Copies of this chain bind each other. A is one copy, B any other.
Amino acid sequence: MSGRSAVAPLTRLEGLGFVVDPLDRLSYRREDADEVARLRARGDARAIVIARDMPVLLRTEARLEPLLPISEIETLGGAQIEALLGVTSGGAPVFAALIRDEAVEEQSDASDGFLDRRVLVVPGRDDLKLIDLRSIAAGGLVPPDEASMLASAKALMHWHARRRFCSNCGARNEVAAAGWRRQCPVCKMQHFPRTDPVVIMLAVDGDACLLGRQPRFPKGMYSALAGFLEPGETIEAAVRREIQEEAGVACGEVRYFASQPWPFPSSLMIGCFAEARSLALEVDRVELEDARWFPRDEALALLERRHPDGLAAPIPMAIAHHLLKRWAYDGVNFR
C-alpha cells in the first residue's frame, strides 16, 4: 500500500491538503511572451492575488472566490510579480499576482490560536477578504483544487518576493519565463523557484509508534517527526537521521507513503514509515517539548479525538494525520 499515489484515489487520503493539482501548467509555453499575453487578455482569464503572502478572496453571495477577474490586478494597483500558473480543465487561464504591500493595511486581531494572527484588509473593498492559506485549508473554505492553486501561487510569489537581488553578484535580477525564472542582467545567473524537500515520518515498533510535540504546537497535539533533507542525503538517510537526532531512536527499513506540497513557505513533505530498531528515547529538547511511544489503541484515540489526557493528532489537512491513520488502521509492512 505504501508507495501508492497521493492523489489517486483521493478518498484514501481524505482531506489531505494541497494534493489536487487541477491545472495544465503549460510549462512549454512559458518562454512564449506573445502566447502568455494572449492568455492574459482572454475574457475568462483569472488571477490568484497575493498580498504580503496572503491570498485575497472575493466575497460573493455564495462563497469566498479565490479566482478573481484578472482586471482586479490593475484595480488593486498593479502587480509586483505575475506568473502564469496554467489553465483549468475548463480552459480558463490562471495567473498568480503579487500586489504591492501598500495595497493592503494590517489590522490587529483577537488571537485564533495557532493560526496566523495578522489580519489584512483592502481599504474600501469590503467585498475582498484576506485570509492566510493555513486557515483557508484547515477550515475547508475553498474546494481542494482551489486550495492547490492557492498553494502554488503562494509558494511561487513568496519565492519571488525574497529573490529581487542576484545571490551571485548582488545586482537586481529580472523576471522571465512567465514568472517561473529570475535572471541576472549582470552575471547572467538564472534562478529557479525553490522547493525544499522535508521528510516527515512515523517510526514504528510493531504495535507502537513514535510521536513528538514541538513547543509551537496547539495544546495537546502530538505529530510525526520531521525535518529538512540536506544536500547529499537520500530520503531514507534523512528519515533515519532526523529520528536519531530528535528522539535517539535508530531505524532500519524506510518505506515511502505519500507526498504533499506544503506552502509554508515552500516545502515538499515526503511522508515515510521507518522501522524502529531501538526503543529508548533521548529527546532533543531544543527541537521537541516531548516525544513518546503511543500504542495502537492510543493512536486511534488521538485520531478520533477521544484520548483520556486530551491529546490529539494533527488535522486531516496534514500528512502526519494520514501517516498515523494508515499505520493505526492498516499497519505497515516493511518486508
Residues of chain A whose beta carbon lies under 8 Å from any beta carbon of chain B: 2-8, 18-19, 21, 25, 27-28, 148-149, 151-153, 155-156, 159, 162-172, 180, 189, 191-197, 228-237, 241, 245, 252-261, 263, 266, 268, 270, 284, 286
Contacts and interface: CB of A to CB of B under 8 A. Distances in A.
B156 A237 contact: no
B148 A162 contact: no
Given A25-B241, A172-B170, A228-B192, A234 B7 contact: yes
18 contacts: A2-B256, A3-B257, A5-B255, A18-B232, A25-B230, A27-B241, A28-B245, A28-B286, A151-B232, A152-B233, A155-B232, A156-B232, A162-B167, A164-B168, A167-B167, A170-B170, A197-B268, A235-B270
B286 A259 contact: no
A299 to B, nearest CB: 21
Contact of A3 (B2, B230, B268): B2
Contacts of A257: 3
B166 A5 contact: no
A328 B169 CA distance: 48
A235 B272 CA distance: 13
A-B interface, 5 closest residue pairs, ranked by CB to CB distance from nearest: A152-B232, A3-B3, A155-B231, A165-B170, A256-B256
Contacts of A255: 3-5
Interface hub of A19, A155, A228, A230 (most chain B Cβ within 10 A): A230
A286 B28 CA distance: 9
Nearest to A236: B5
A193 B167 CA distance: 13
A150 B165 CA distance: 30
A21 B255 CA distance: 18
Contact of A169 (B165, B180, B234): B165
